[in-house]
Structure 1
Amino acid sequence: MIGLKVDKLQVRFGDFTAVHELSFEVAPGESFGLVGESGSGKSTVLRAICGLAPRAGGHIELTGAEGQLPISRRVQMVFQDPYGSLHPRQTVDRMLAEPLAIHRIGDAERRITAMLDAVGLGAAFRFRYPHQLSGGQRQRVAIARALILEPQLLLLDEPTSALDASVQAEVLNLLEALRRERGLSFVMVSHDLAVVTHLCERLMVMRQGGAVETLAAPALARGEVGEAYTRELMKASAGFVRT
Protein backbone atom coordinates (compact mmCIF):
# COMPACT_ATOMS: atom_id res chain seq x y z
CA MET A 1 0.00 0.00 0.00
CA ILE A 2 1.05 3.58 -0.58
CA GLY A 3 -0.19 6.89 0.77
CA LEU A 4 0.04 10.46 -0.44
CA LYS A 5 1.41 13.68 1.04
CA VAL A 6 0.53 17.00 -0.59
CA ASP A 7 2.38 19.96 0.93
CA LYS A 8 1.55 23.59 0.07
CA LEU A 9 0.42 22.75 -3.47
CA GLN A 10 -0.06 25.74 -5.77
CA VAL A 11 -1.51 25.59 -9.27
CA ARG A 12 -1.66 28.65 -11.52
CA PHE A 13 -3.06 29.24 -14.99
CA GLY A 14 -1.48 32.50 -16.10
CA ASP A 15 -2.36 35.13 -13.52
CA PHE A 16 -5.12 33.00 -12.01
CA THR A 17 -4.27 30.86 -8.97
CA ALA A 18 -6.53 27.81 -8.96
CA VAL A 19 -5.06 26.14 -5.86
CA HIS A 20 -3.56 28.08 -2.93
CA GLU A 21 -0.90 26.28 -0.85
CA LEU A 22 -3.10 23.24 -0.20
CA SER A 23 -1.82 20.54 2.16
CA PHE A 24 -3.27 17.15 3.11
CA GLU A 25 -2.19 13.55 3.70
CA VAL A 26 -3.74 10.23 2.73
CA ALA A 27 -2.70 7.19 4.73
CA PRO A 28 -1.86 3.94 2.89
CA GLY A 29 -5.12 2.14 2.16
CA GLU A 30 -7.27 5.16 3.06
CA SER A 31 -10.09 6.65 1.02
CA PHE A 32 -9.94 10.47 1.13
CA GLY A 33 -12.44 12.90 -0.36
CA LEU A 34 -12.20 16.43 -1.72
CA VAL A 35 -15.53 18.26 -1.76
CA GLY A 36 -16.65 21.76 -2.67
CA GLU A 37 -18.72 23.76 -5.08
CA SER A 38 -17.86 23.98 -8.78
CA GLY A 39 -14.70 26.01 -9.31
CA SER A 40 -13.29 25.25 -5.86
CA GLY A 41 -10.19 23.65 -7.39
CA LYS A 42 -10.78 20.06 -6.33
CA SER A 43 -10.44 18.47 -9.79
CA THR A 44 -7.37 20.63 -10.45
CA VAL A 45 -5.74 19.06 -7.39
CA LEU A 46 -6.20 15.58 -8.88
CA ARG A 47 -4.78 16.71 -12.20
CA ALA A 48 -1.75 18.23 -10.47
CA ILE A 49 -1.11 14.98 -8.59
CA CYS A 50 -0.94 12.99 -11.83
CA GLY A 51 0.90 15.68 -13.80
CA LEU A 52 -1.98 16.95 -15.96
CA ALA A 53 -2.03 20.44 -14.41
CA PRO A 54 0.95 22.80 -13.97
CA ARG A 55 2.35 22.86 -10.44
CA ALA A 56 3.58 26.34 -9.52
CA GLY A 57 4.75 25.38 -6.05
CA GLY A 58 4.58 22.82 -3.30
CA HIS A 59 5.52 19.17 -3.03
CA ILE A 60 3.69 15.92 -3.84
CA GLU A 61 5.06 12.67 -2.42
CA LEU A 62 3.96 9.05 -2.42
CA THR A 63 4.47 7.63 1.06
CA GLY A 64 5.25 4.05 1.93
CA ALA A 65 6.35 3.39 -1.66
CA GLU A 66 8.86 0.61 -2.26
CA GLY A 67 10.65 -0.48 -5.41
CA GLN A 68 11.32 1.43 -8.61
CA LEU A 69 7.97 1.45 -10.41
CA PRO A 70 7.27 4.77 -12.18
CA ILE A 71 4.52 7.02 -10.82
CA SER A 72 2.41 6.26 -13.91
CA ARG A 73 2.23 2.64 -12.72
CA ARG A 74 1.54 3.53 -9.10
CA VAL A 75 -1.07 6.24 -9.70
CA GLN A 76 -4.00 6.10 -12.12
CA MET A 77 -7.08 8.25 -12.64
CA VAL A 78 -10.75 7.61 -13.44
CA PHE A 79 -12.36 10.61 -15.10
CA GLN A 80 -15.84 12.02 -14.65
CA ASP A 81 -17.42 11.40 -18.03
CA PRO A 82 -17.48 7.78 -19.22
CA TYR A 83 -18.81 9.03 -22.56
CA GLY A 84 -15.80 11.25 -23.18
CA SER A 85 -12.97 9.31 -21.56
CA LEU A 86 -13.16 6.26 -23.85
CA HIS A 87 -12.02 6.33 -27.48
CA PRO A 88 -15.15 5.81 -29.63
CA ARG A 89 -13.30 3.84 -32.32
CA GLN A 90 -11.45 1.44 -30.05
CA THR A 91 -12.79 -1.82 -28.68
CA VAL A 92 -12.67 -2.53 -24.96
CA ASP A 93 -9.90 -5.03 -25.68
CA ARG A 94 -7.71 -2.44 -27.37
CA MET A 95 -8.29 0.15 -24.65
CA LEU A 96 -7.16 -2.33 -21.99
CA ALA A 97 -4.27 -3.68 -24.05
CA GLU A 98 -2.78 -0.25 -24.82
CA PRO A 99 -1.47 0.61 -21.32
CA LEU A 100 0.00 -2.88 -21.03
CA ALA A 101 1.84 -2.39 -24.32
CA ILE A 102 3.09 1.07 -23.33
CA HIS A 103 4.57 -0.28 -20.10
CA ARG A 104 5.78 -3.49 -21.77
CA ILE A 105 3.75 -5.75 -19.51
CA GLY A 106 3.18 -9.24 -20.86
CA ASP A 107 0.40 -11.79 -20.40
CA ALA A 108 -2.14 -9.35 -21.84
CA GLU A 109 -4.74 -12.02 -22.64
CA ARG A 110 -5.02 -13.22 -19.05
CA ARG A 111 -4.81 -9.73 -17.54
CA ILE A 112 -7.58 -8.32 -19.74
CA THR A 113 -9.93 -11.24 -19.07
CA ALA A 114 -9.26 -11.11 -15.34
CA MET A 115 -9.81 -7.36 -15.17
CA LEU A 116 -13.12 -7.51 -17.03
CA ASP A 117 -14.26 -10.16 -14.55
CA ALA A 118 -13.08 -7.99 -11.64
CA VAL A 119 -15.28 -5.06 -12.71
CA GLY A 120 -18.31 -7.25 -13.32
CA LEU A 121 -18.37 -7.27 -17.11
CA GLY A 122 -16.80 -10.50 -18.28
CA ALA A 123 -15.25 -11.64 -21.55
CA ALA A 124 -18.46 -11.01 -23.52
CA PHE A 125 -17.70 -7.28 -23.44
CA ARG A 126 -14.13 -7.58 -24.66
CA PHE A 127 -14.67 -6.71 -28.32
CA ARG A 128 -17.47 -4.19 -27.95
CA TYR A 129 -17.21 -0.50 -28.75
CA PRO A 130 -18.19 2.28 -26.32
CA HIS A 131 -21.43 3.05 -28.19
CA GLN A 132 -22.53 -0.52 -27.51
CA LEU A 133 -22.28 0.00 -23.73
CA SER A 134 -24.47 1.71 -21.17
CA GLY A 135 -23.09 4.56 -19.07
CA GLY A 136 -22.44 2.27 -16.11
CA GLN A 137 -20.70 -0.28 -18.32
CA ARG A 138 -18.51 2.43 -19.83
CA GLN A 139 -17.43 3.59 -16.39
CA ARG A 140 -16.62 -0.01 -15.44
CA VAL A 141 -14.38 -0.15 -18.52
CA ALA A 142 -12.73 3.10 -17.43
CA ILE A 143 -12.11 1.60 -13.98
CA ALA A 144 -10.70 -1.56 -15.57
CA ARG A 145 -8.37 0.53 -17.74
CA ALA A 146 -7.11 2.39 -14.67
CA LEU A 147 -6.55 -0.82 -12.70
CA ILE A 148 -5.00 -2.93 -15.47
CA LEU A 149 -1.53 -1.59 -14.51
CA GLU A 150 -2.15 -2.60 -10.87
CA PRO A 151 -1.72 0.88 -9.38
CA GLN A 152 -1.72 1.49 -5.64
CA LEU A 153 -3.34 4.93 -5.64
CA LEU A 154 -6.51 5.68 -7.60
CA LEU A 155 -7.67 9.23 -8.31
CA LEU A 156 -11.43 9.46 -8.85
CA ASP A 157 -12.80 12.63 -10.45
CA GLU A 158 -16.59 12.61 -9.92
CA PRO A 159 -16.72 8.97 -11.08
CA THR A 160 -20.51 8.61 -10.77
CA SER A 161 -21.87 12.10 -11.46
CA ALA A 162 -22.81 11.30 -15.08
CA LEU A 163 -24.69 8.12 -14.10
CA ASP A 164 -28.26 7.41 -13.02
CA ALA A 165 -28.81 7.10 -9.27
CA SER A 166 -29.30 3.32 -9.33
CA VAL A 167 -26.14 2.84 -11.38
CA GLN A 168 -24.20 5.21 -9.11
CA ALA A 169 -24.70 2.87 -6.15
CA GLU A 170 -23.47 -0.12 -8.16
CA VAL A 171 -20.30 1.66 -9.25
CA LEU A 172 -19.59 2.99 -5.75
CA ASN A 173 -20.00 -0.49 -4.27
CA LEU A 174 -17.69 -1.87 -6.95
CA LEU A 175 -15.02 0.74 -6.16
CA GLU A 176 -15.21 0.01 -2.44
CA ALA A 177 -14.91 -3.74 -3.04
CA LEU A 178 -11.90 -3.24 -5.33
CA ARG A 179 -10.22 -0.95 -2.80
CA ARG A 180 -10.47 -3.56 -0.05
CA GLU A 181 -9.51 -6.50 -2.26
CA ARG A 182 -6.49 -4.78 -3.79
CA GLY A 183 -5.31 -2.62 -0.89
CA LEU A 184 -5.81 0.59 -2.85
CA SER A 185 -5.69 4.16 -1.62
CA PHE A 186 -8.30 6.55 -3.04
CA VAL A 187 -8.49 10.29 -3.51
CA MET A 188 -12.00 11.11 -4.66
CA VAL A 189 -13.45 14.40 -5.86
CA SER A 190 -17.18 15.03 -5.67
CA HIS A 191 -19.73 17.78 -5.14
CA ASP A 192 -22.13 15.16 -3.73
CA LEU A 193 -21.60 14.83 0.03
CA ALA A 194 -23.65 11.62 0.19
CA VAL A 195 -21.33 9.95 -2.31
CA VAL A 196 -18.25 11.05 -0.39
CA THR A 197 -19.54 9.89 2.99
CA HIS A 198 -20.41 6.53 1.41
CA LEU A 199 -16.95 5.88 -0.03
CA CYS A 200 -14.48 7.99 1.97
CA GLU A 201 -13.22 7.78 5.52
CA ARG A 202 -12.05 11.40 5.72
CA LEU A 203 -12.59 14.45 3.57
CA MET A 204 -11.41 17.99 3.00
CA VAL A 205 -13.83 20.79 2.20
CA MET A 206 -12.42 23.21 -0.38
CA ARG A 207 -13.40 26.74 -1.37
CA GLN A 208 -11.74 28.99 -3.94
CA GLY A 209 -8.66 26.78 -4.17
CA GLY A 210 -8.03 26.52 -0.44
CA ALA A 211 -8.93 24.29 2.48
CA VAL A 212 -11.92 25.13 4.69
CA GLU A 213 -11.72 22.16 7.06
CA THR A 214 -10.85 18.46 7.22
CA LEU A 215 -13.11 16.04 9.03
CA ALA A 216 -14.10 12.40 9.32
CA ALA A 217 -16.93 11.25 7.07
CA PRO A 218 -19.08 10.03 10.01
CA ALA A 219 -18.84 13.50 11.56
CA LEU A 220 -20.09 15.06 8.33
CA ALA A 221 -22.94 12.56 8.17
CA ARG A 222 -23.97 13.58 11.71
CA GLY A 223 -23.70 17.28 10.86
CA GLU A 224 -20.79 17.77 13.25
CA VAL A 225 -18.91 20.40 11.26
CA GLY A 226 -16.93 23.41 12.39
CA GLU A 227 -17.29 25.90 9.55
CA ALA A 228 -20.31 27.84 8.31
CA TYR A 229 -19.35 27.19 4.68
CA THR A 230 -19.49 23.43 5.27
CA ARG A 231 -22.98 23.78 6.75
CA GLU A 232 -24.06 25.77 3.70
CA LEU A 233 -22.58 23.09 1.45
CA MET A 234 -24.57 20.45 3.34
CA LYS A 235 -27.79 22.41 2.78
CA ALA A 236 -27.04 22.81 -0.92
CA SER A 237 -26.23 19.12 -1.30
CA ALA A 238 -29.53 18.19 0.31
CA GLY A 239 -31.40 20.08 -2.43
CA PHE A 240 -34.03 22.77 -2.34
CA VAL A 241 -36.39 22.88 0.62
CA ARG A 242 -39.82 24.47 0.25
CA THR A 243 -40.76 27.06 2.85
Structure 2
Amino acid sequence: MTGPALSIRDMLVTFNGFRALDEVSLDIATGESFGIVGESGSGKSTLLRAVAGLNRFDSGSLTVNGRSYGGRKRDQEFYRTVQMVFQDPYGSLHPRQTVDRLLLEPLAIHGFTDTEARIARALDEVGLGSGFRFRFSHQLSGGQRQRIAIARALIVEPKVLLLDEPTSALDASIQAEILNLLEQARKDRGLTFAMVSHDLAVISHMCERLAVMRKGKVVEALDVGQLRSREFSMDYTRELLRASEGFRREA
Protein backbone atom coordinates (compact mmCIF):
# COMPACT_ATOMS: atom_id res chain seq x y z
CA MET A 1 0.00 0.00 0.00
CA THR A 2 1.37 3.40 -1.00
CA GLY A 3 1.52 6.30 1.41
CA PRO A 4 -0.47 9.52 1.01
CA ALA A 5 0.33 11.84 -1.89
CA LEU A 6 0.16 14.78 0.51
CA SER A 7 0.73 14.62 4.27
CA ILE A 8 0.48 17.74 6.45
CA ARG A 9 1.31 17.54 10.14
CA ASP A 10 0.73 20.27 12.76
CA MET A 11 1.19 23.06 10.21
CA LEU A 12 1.35 26.51 11.82
CA VAL A 13 1.22 29.77 9.84
CA THR A 14 1.28 33.10 11.66
CA PHE A 15 0.97 36.67 10.40
CA ASN A 16 2.07 39.26 12.95
CA GLY A 17 1.24 36.86 15.77
CA PHE A 18 -2.17 35.89 14.33
CA ARG A 19 -2.57 32.13 13.80
CA ALA A 20 -3.88 31.89 10.24
CA LEU A 21 -3.26 28.13 10.35
CA ASP A 22 -3.36 26.60 13.80
CA GLU A 23 -1.53 23.24 13.74
CA VAL A 24 -3.47 21.68 10.85
CA SER A 25 -2.98 17.99 10.01
CA LEU A 26 -4.31 16.28 6.86
CA ASP A 27 -3.55 13.23 4.73
CA ILE A 28 -4.66 13.11 1.09
CA ALA A 29 -4.38 9.72 -0.62
CA THR A 30 -2.78 9.21 -4.02
CA GLY A 31 -5.42 9.70 -6.72
CA GLU A 32 -7.95 11.21 -4.31
CA SER A 33 -9.92 14.41 -4.82
CA PHE A 34 -10.02 16.07 -1.39
CA GLY A 35 -12.11 19.13 -0.54
CA ILE A 36 -11.34 21.93 1.93
CA VAL A 37 -14.28 24.13 2.91
CA GLY A 38 -14.95 26.96 5.33
CA GLU A 39 -16.07 30.54 5.54
CA SER A 40 -13.90 33.45 4.35
CA GLY A 41 -10.89 33.77 6.64
CA SER A 42 -11.08 30.16 7.86
CA GLY A 43 -7.56 29.42 6.59
CA LYS A 44 -8.38 27.21 3.63
CA SER A 45 -6.55 29.26 0.97
CA THR A 46 -3.68 29.90 3.41
CA LEU A 47 -3.30 26.13 3.72
CA LEU A 48 -2.98 25.66 -0.06
CA ARG A 49 -0.56 28.57 -0.33
CA ALA A 50 1.60 27.15 2.48
CA VAL A 51 1.71 23.77 0.73
CA ALA A 52 2.66 25.51 -2.54
CA GLY A 53 5.42 27.53 -0.86
CA LEU A 54 3.70 30.88 -1.50
CA ASN A 55 3.31 31.39 2.28
CA ARG A 56 5.93 30.02 4.64
CA PHE A 57 4.83 27.85 7.54
CA ASP A 58 6.38 28.44 10.96
CA SER A 59 6.35 24.86 12.19
CA GLY A 60 4.98 21.43 11.34
CA SER A 61 5.80 19.25 8.36
CA LEU A 62 4.84 18.74 4.72
CA THR A 63 5.47 15.49 2.84
CA VAL A 64 4.68 15.07 -0.87
CA ASN A 65 4.96 11.55 -2.31
CA GLY A 66 7.32 10.64 0.52
CA ARG A 67 9.59 13.71 0.24
CA SER A 68 9.70 16.26 3.04
CA TYR A 69 9.70 20.02 2.44
CA GLY A 70 10.43 22.91 4.78
CA GLY A 71 8.56 26.10 5.62
CA ARG A 72 9.01 27.83 2.29
CA LYS A 73 11.87 26.39 0.27
CA ARG A 74 10.81 24.24 -2.69
CA ASP A 75 13.00 22.66 -5.35
CA GLN A 76 12.38 22.07 -9.04
CA GLU A 77 11.18 18.52 -8.45
CA PHE A 78 8.45 19.88 -6.16
CA TYR A 79 7.11 22.12 -8.93
CA ARG A 80 7.15 19.24 -11.38
CA THR A 81 5.07 17.25 -8.89
CA VAL A 82 2.76 19.96 -7.48
CA GLN A 83 1.02 22.68 -9.48
CA MET A 84 -1.59 25.23 -8.40
CA VAL A 85 -4.59 26.70 -10.23
CA PHE A 86 -5.77 30.00 -8.80
CA GLN A 87 -9.22 31.51 -8.37
CA ASP A 88 -8.72 34.47 -10.66
CA PRO A 89 -8.01 33.62 -14.31
CA TYR A 90 -7.59 37.35 -14.97
CA GLY A 91 -4.77 37.81 -12.47
CA SER A 92 -2.85 34.56 -12.94
CA LEU A 93 -1.91 35.02 -16.62
CA HIS A 94 0.62 37.61 -17.79
CA PRO A 95 -1.30 40.15 -19.93
CA ARG A 96 1.61 40.80 -22.32
CA GLN A 97 2.36 37.18 -23.13
CA THR A 98 0.67 35.07 -25.79
CA VAL A 99 -0.83 31.71 -24.86
CA ASP A 100 2.12 30.10 -26.66
CA ARG A 101 4.59 31.98 -24.46
CA LEU A 102 2.60 31.22 -21.29
CA LEU A 103 2.75 27.49 -22.05
CA LEU A 104 6.35 27.51 -23.28
CA GLU A 105 7.72 29.06 -20.08
CA PRO A 106 7.11 26.12 -17.69
CA LEU A 107 8.38 23.69 -20.35
CA ALA A 108 11.62 25.67 -20.62
CA ILE A 109 12.02 25.88 -16.83
CA HIS A 110 11.67 22.12 -16.46
CA GLY A 111 13.84 21.23 -19.46
CA PHE A 112 11.24 19.72 -21.80
CA THR A 113 12.34 19.67 -25.44
CA ASP A 114 9.27 18.36 -27.32
CA THR A 115 7.54 21.71 -26.81
CA GLU A 116 5.43 21.77 -29.99
CA ALA A 117 3.76 18.44 -29.25
CA ARG A 118 3.23 19.29 -25.59
CA ILE A 119 1.62 22.67 -26.30
CA ALA A 120 -0.68 21.13 -28.91
CA ARG A 121 -1.67 18.33 -26.52
CA ALA A 122 -2.24 20.76 -23.62
CA LEU A 123 -4.54 22.99 -25.67
CA ASP A 124 -6.45 19.98 -26.96
CA GLU A 125 -6.83 18.56 -23.45
CA VAL A 126 -8.52 21.73 -22.20
CA GLY A 127 -10.80 22.00 -25.22
CA LEU A 128 -9.01 24.84 -27.03
CA GLY A 129 -7.60 24.43 -30.53
CA SER A 130 -4.29 25.60 -31.96
CA GLY A 131 -6.03 28.83 -33.06
CA PHE A 132 -5.67 30.06 -29.47
CA ARG A 133 -1.87 29.73 -29.40
CA PHE A 134 -0.99 33.25 -30.42
CA ARG A 135 -3.75 35.14 -28.66
CA PHE A 136 -3.09 37.34 -25.65
CA SER A 137 -4.95 36.70 -22.40
CA HIS A 138 -7.02 39.89 -22.79
CA GLN A 139 -8.44 38.39 -26.00
CA LEU A 140 -9.86 35.42 -24.08
CA SER A 141 -13.05 35.01 -22.04
CA GLY A 142 -12.84 34.16 -18.34
CA GLY A 143 -13.55 30.49 -19.02
CA GLN A 144 -10.91 30.37 -21.76
CA ARG A 145 -8.36 31.99 -19.46
CA GLN A 146 -9.03 29.41 -16.77
CA ARG A 147 -8.62 26.64 -19.36
CA ILE A 148 -5.20 28.12 -20.25
CA ALA A 149 -4.29 28.30 -16.54
CA ILE A 150 -5.21 24.60 -16.21
CA ALA A 151 -3.24 23.73 -19.37
CA ARG A 152 -0.20 25.55 -17.96
CA ALA A 153 -0.47 23.55 -14.72
CA LEU A 154 -0.91 20.21 -16.51
CA ILE A 155 1.78 20.71 -19.16
CA VAL A 156 4.65 19.72 -16.82
CA GLU A 157 2.84 16.47 -15.89
CA PRO A 158 2.32 17.05 -12.17
CA LYS A 159 0.96 14.44 -9.78
CA VAL A 160 -0.85 16.84 -7.42
CA LEU A 161 -3.05 19.81 -8.34
CA LEU A 162 -3.89 22.45 -5.74
CA LEU A 163 -7.15 24.12 -6.79
CA ASP A 164 -8.05 27.38 -5.04
CA GLU A 165 -11.70 28.17 -5.88
CA PRO A 166 -10.97 27.38 -9.56
CA THR A 167 -14.49 28.22 -10.79
CA SER A 168 -15.83 30.85 -8.37
CA ALA A 169 -14.96 33.79 -10.67
CA LEU A 170 -16.83 32.21 -13.60
CA ASP A 171 -20.47 32.15 -14.72
CA ALA A 172 -22.46 29.13 -13.53
CA SER A 173 -22.72 27.62 -17.04
CA ILE A 174 -18.92 27.83 -17.48
CA GLN A 175 -18.26 26.46 -13.98
CA ALA A 176 -19.69 23.05 -14.87
CA GLU A 177 -17.53 22.85 -18.01
CA ILE A 178 -14.35 23.62 -16.06
CA LEU A 179 -15.20 21.15 -13.29
CA ASN A 180 -15.88 18.40 -15.85
CA LEU A 181 -12.59 19.23 -17.58
CA LEU A 182 -10.70 18.93 -14.28
CA GLU A 183 -12.42 15.66 -13.40
CA GLN A 184 -11.54 14.18 -16.81
CA ALA A 185 -7.91 15.27 -16.41
CA ARG A 186 -7.77 13.61 -12.98
CA LYS A 187 -9.06 10.32 -14.39
CA ASP A 188 -6.82 10.42 -17.47
CA ARG A 189 -3.65 11.33 -15.58
CA GLY A 190 -4.23 9.70 -12.17
CA LEU A 191 -3.95 13.08 -10.44
CA THR A 192 -4.46 13.92 -6.78
CA PHE A 193 -6.56 17.03 -6.09
CA ALA A 194 -6.69 19.31 -3.06
CA MET A 195 -9.60 21.65 -3.79
CA VAL A 196 -10.66 24.71 -1.81
CA SER A 197 -14.22 25.96 -2.30
CA HIS A 198 -16.92 27.84 -0.42
CA ASP A 199 -19.53 25.93 -2.45
CA LEU A 200 -20.38 22.57 -0.90
CA ALA A 201 -22.23 21.50 -4.08
CA VAL A 202 -18.95 21.78 -6.00
CA ILE A 203 -17.13 19.78 -3.32
CA SER A 204 -19.91 17.18 -3.27
CA HIS A 205 -19.58 16.78 -7.05
CA MET A 206 -15.79 16.71 -7.25
CA CYS A 207 -14.46 15.19 -4.01
CA GLU A 208 -14.56 11.95 -2.04
CA ARG A 209 -13.62 13.43 1.33
CA LEU A 210 -13.45 16.89 2.82
CA ALA A 211 -12.15 18.85 5.76
CA VAL A 212 -14.13 21.70 7.31
CA MET A 213 -12.00 24.63 8.51
CA ARG A 214 -12.80 27.39 10.97
CA LYS A 215 -10.46 29.99 12.48
CA GLY A 216 -7.37 28.24 11.16
CA LYS A 217 -8.28 24.77 12.43
CA VAL A 218 -9.80 21.63 10.92
CA VAL A 219 -12.99 21.23 12.95
CA GLU A 220 -14.53 18.29 11.10
CA ALA A 221 -13.57 15.65 8.52
CA LEU A 222 -16.26 13.93 6.45
CA ASP A 223 -16.67 11.77 3.41
CA VAL A 224 -19.04 13.04 0.73
CA GLY A 225 -21.68 10.45 1.66
CA GLN A 226 -21.89 11.98 5.14
CA LEU A 227 -22.16 15.46 3.59
CA ARG A 228 -25.04 14.40 1.32
CA SER A 229 -26.90 12.63 4.14
CA ARG A 230 -26.18 15.53 6.52
CA GLU A 231 -24.32 13.41 9.06
CA PHE A 232 -22.48 16.32 10.67
CA SER A 233 -21.05 16.49 14.15
CA MET A 234 -20.65 20.29 14.02
CA ASP A 235 -23.40 22.90 13.79
CA TYR A 236 -20.86 25.04 11.92
CA THR A 237 -20.86 22.53 9.02
CA ARG A 238 -24.66 22.61 8.94
CA GLU A 239 -24.60 26.41 8.76
CA LEU A 240 -22.03 26.29 5.95
CA LEU A 241 -24.28 23.97 3.96
CA ARG A 242 -27.30 26.19 4.55
CA ALA A 243 -25.36 29.28 3.46
CA SER A 244 -24.05 27.49 0.36
CA GLU A 245 -27.54 26.33 -0.68
CA GLY A 246 -29.01 29.79 -0.02
CA PHE A 247 -26.30 31.46 -2.11
CA ARG A 248 -26.93 29.05 -4.98
CA ARG A 249 -30.70 29.63 -5.00
CA GLU A 250 -30.23 33.39 -5.16
CA ALA A 251 -27.67 33.05 -7.94
1:22-76 C-alpha deviation (Å, 9 max, x unpaired)? 00100000000100000000000001001000110100001357xx971010000
Determine the C-alpha separation between the residues in 2 that align with 1:233 and 1:125: 39
Code of the residue aligned with 1:41 in structure 2: it is: G
Matches within 5 A, 1:104-183: 104-183=111-190
Matches of 2:5 and 2:76, distance apart in 1: 15
1:63 paired to 2:75: no
| Cα deviations by residue, 1:120-171 (Å, 9 ceiling, x for unpaired) | 1011111111111111110000000001110000000000000000100000
Q: Does 1:45 align with 2:52?
A: no
Q: Which runs of 4+ in 1 moved over 4 A?
A: none
Aligned equivalents of 2:76, 2:171: Cα separation in 1:
37
| Distance in 1, Cα, partners of 2:97 & 2:138 | 10
**8 A contact 2:76–2:110 mirrored in 1:** no
Which residue identity lines up with residue 59 of structure 1 in the other structure? S
**C-alpha contact 1:29 1:184 (8 A) present in aligned 2:** yes
Alpha-carbon distance in 1 for matches of 2:204, 2:100: 34
User: What secondary structure is seen at the aligned counterpart in 2 of 1:188?
Assistant: strand
Q: 5+ residue gaps in structure 2?
A: 68-74
Aligned residue for 1:223? 230
Of residues 88, 91, 99 in structure 1, which corresponds to 2:95? 88
**Cα pair 1:73 1:149 within 8 Å, conserved:** yes
- 1:199 corresponds in structure 2 to 206
2:37 to 21, 35, 38: 35
Question: What is the percentage of aligned positions where both structures have the same residue?
Answer: 62
The equivalent residue for 1:101 is: 108
Distance 2:134 2:153 in 1: 18
Shift in Å, 1:14: 1.9
Q: Distance in 2 between matches of 1:122 and 1:200?
A: 29
TM-score, normalised via structure 2 length: 0.92
Contact 2:9 2:23 in 1 (8 A): yes
SS in 2 for 1:239: helix
Alignment match, 2:72: none
CA contact (8 A) 1:6 1:22 kept: yes
Match for residue 75 of structure 1? 82
> Using the alignment, how far apart are the partners of 2:145 and 2:219 within structure 1?
34
Q: Which amino acid aligns with 1:32?
A: F
Please list the CA deviations of residues 53-103 of structure 1 after superposition, one character each: whole Å capped at 9, or x if unmatched: 0110100001357xx971010000000000111111110000000011112
Q: Which runs of 5+ in 1 are unaligned?
A: none
The alignment covers a number of residue pairs equal to 240
Greater displacement, 202-211 / 221-230: 221-230
TM-score normalized by the length of structure 1: 0.95
Does the Cα contact within 8 Å between 1:28 and 1:64 map onto a contact in 2?
no
Contact kept in structure 1, 2:98 and 2:135, CA below 8 Å:
yes
- Residue 222 of structure 1 aligns with an amino acid whose one-letter code is S
